């Protein structure tokens, strides 16, 4: 097995075991800019992933601390899907991705980093964004600054 280094995620991995609280509940208690919350809805909120897989990687989480979506009634999940569609439109209009990965990891066996507060990932993808350019071509692909990405997305949600 070969491994591809992703050093920008080290802070998340190193601090994962130290944090005993819920990152989503803690984010809700902070200022939107500090927590990178782009939108607060009635039952769900949208925030920028601080350790993204790609530029504009968003998460949509319920305001209530719940482990899985089946703990909510179907009509309560409508806001999550509306925000998912809105997030994809905002990302399409501002960053022009070639596609998206959407998904949830429910429970530790499924890879959930936050096992008791479910959330949906909206990950914009571009052709060739997961390649070996940095290793073989000795070229580092630089993306937008997280602060700039946050402002673009938060402003679009509030228009």
d(CA 112, CA 93) in angstroms, rounded, equals: 29
Q: Which whole number is the average pLDDT over 59-86?
A: 95
Residue with the larger pLDDT of the pair 114 and 103: 103
The CA–CA distances, whole Å, from 9 to 84, 93, 146 equal 24, 27, 14
- Residue 135's contacts (CB-CB under 8 Å, 6 or more residues apart) are 4
Q: What is the pLDDT of residue 130?
A: 63
Read off the pLDDT band of 135 (50, 70, 90): very low
Helix (H), strand (E), coil (C) string for 12-26: HHHHHCCCCCCHHHH
Report the range out of 19-28, 45-54, 128-137, 147-156 with the highest average pLDDT. 147-156
Confidence of residue 14 (pLDDT cuts 50, 70, 90): low
Q: Name the range with the highest mean pLDDT among 45-54, 93-102, 124-133.
A: 93-102
Per-residue confidence (pLDDT) for residue 74, from 0 to 100 = 83
pLDDT of residue 118: 95
Q: Distance (Å, rounded) from C-alpha 72 to C-alpha 93?
A: 31
Structural domains of the chain, with CATH: 9-157 (3.30.428.10)
């Amino acid at each position: 097995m070969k491994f591809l280094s992703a050093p920008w995620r080290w802070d998340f991995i190193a601090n994962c075991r130290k944090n005993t609280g819920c990152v989503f509940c803690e984010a809700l208690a902070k200022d939107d800019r500090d927590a990178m919350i782009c939108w607060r809805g009635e039952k769900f909120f949208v925030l920028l992933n601080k350790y993204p897989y790609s530029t504009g990687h968003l998460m949509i989480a319920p305001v209530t601390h719940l482990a899985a979506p089946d703990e909510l009634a179907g009509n309560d999940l409508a806001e999550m899907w509306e925000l998912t569609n809105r997030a994809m439109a905002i990302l399409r209009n501002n960053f022009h991705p070639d596609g998206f990965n959407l998904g949830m990891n429910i429970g530790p066996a499924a890879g959930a980093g936050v096992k008791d507060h479910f959330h949906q990932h909206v990950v914009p993808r571009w052709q060739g964004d997961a390649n070996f350019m940095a290793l073989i071509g000795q070229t580092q692909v630089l993306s937008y600054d997280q602060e700039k990405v946050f402002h673009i997305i938060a402003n679009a949600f509030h228009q």
